[in-house]
Amino acid sequence: MRQARLRRRRQAPSALRIGSGRALSGRGAGLGAHHCASGSIHAIIARAAAVCVVNSGVGAEALLHEKPVYVFGRADYMGACFVCATAGDFDRQFQPGRSALSREELHRFWYLLRESYAVDLSNRNEAKKEITRRVDDHLRQVAAQGAIERRPER
């Protein structure tokens, strides 16, 4: 039986639901054993074979634990996950113990995310300048390709 672990969002009681992929996908209630538990999300992830999320930060935490993550929505980290966009994607992609990226690729993913995309928010004014610079650079690149009208420089 496939095991999947789900944790409710922060505003809901801390709970863990364990069951078969079929039961979770709604193709038949009662197909898998279900169990609720509470505790640290890191302890829960450590025991998981894989983590399924819609767009939760728990998916990013699971990647830090080097667990396979299945995304059923959109997330900043979905490039390192299995993406389940249509019915049946989970069943087609799920292989116990297999992640979307190798350990080395996952480490490179985190490095690039941190060094190329993340913005230090500890100083609001500096963060605002950096975000503005990145948006302006992107708009200039797109305008140079003729995809949008060029706006006057500030």
Q: pLDDT class for 12, splitting at 50, 70, 90? A: very low
Q: Give the tens place of pLDDT for each residue, 120-137.
A: 999 999 999 999 999 999
pTM comes to: 0.65
Helix axes 103-112, 57-64, angle to 10 degrees: 130
Could you tell me which residues come within 8 angstroms of residue 107 by beta carbon, excluding any fewer than 6 positions away?
Answer: none
Q: Give Dmax (Cα) for the chain.
A: 62
pLDDT for the residue numbered 146:
81
Closest alpha carbon to 82 in 103, 91, 46, 118? 91
Average pLDDT of the segment spanning 22-47: 63
Q: Give the tens place of pLDDT for each residue, 73-117.
A: 999 899 999 999 999 999 999 988 899 999 999 999 999 988 888
> What DSSP character marks residue 10?
T
Q: Give the tens place of pLDDT for each residue, 45-76.
A: 998 889 999 988 899 999 999 999 999 999 98
